[in-house]
Amino acid sequence: MERLRSSPLHANISTALDKLLESIHVVQACRKDEIVSASSRQRHGPPRCQDERVVLALAAALRALCLATRKVRTVLWCAFQMTLPK
């Protein structure tokens, strides 16, 4: 879009994209923790409190990812509108 516009886009656009990427990485890490927790629970026994914390962390990470996705969609739509010829 910057090439089409022949000028750099607003800094908020790259910031929103960076936050989305960070949110994706956090969700991936939480999901890995959940998988490890579930596999260790099958071997030993259910430590419930630990599992609940892992699931709640994943839920919080997914909520942050949802918010970041909404913001990026809006920001990219605005950037697209700015690149269209008038």
As a dihedral over the C-alpha atoms of residue 53, residue 47, residue 38, residue 35, rounded to 10 degrees, the angle is 40
* Residue 22 placed within a domain: yes
Q: What is the biggest distance separating any 2 CA atoms in the chain, rounded to whole angstroms? A: 65
Burial class of residue 4 in the structure, from the number of CB atoms within 10 Å of its CB (0-12 exposed, 13-18 middle, 19+ buried): exposed
pLDDT (tens, 9 = 90+) of the chain, 86 residues, equals: 666 666 777 888 989 999 999 999 999 999 999 888 877 766 665 555 567 889 899 999 999 999 999 999 999 999 888 888 77
Q: What is the pLDDT of residue 44?
A: 61
* Residue 60 placed within a domain: yes
Domain extent for 49: 9-81
* Residue 1 placed within a domain: no
Can you tell me the distance from the alpha carbon of 61 to that of 1, in angstroms, rounded to the nearest whole number?
29
Domains contained in the chain, number: 1
Q: Is residue 62 within 8 Å of residue 27, measured between CB atoms?
A: yes
pTM here is 0.79
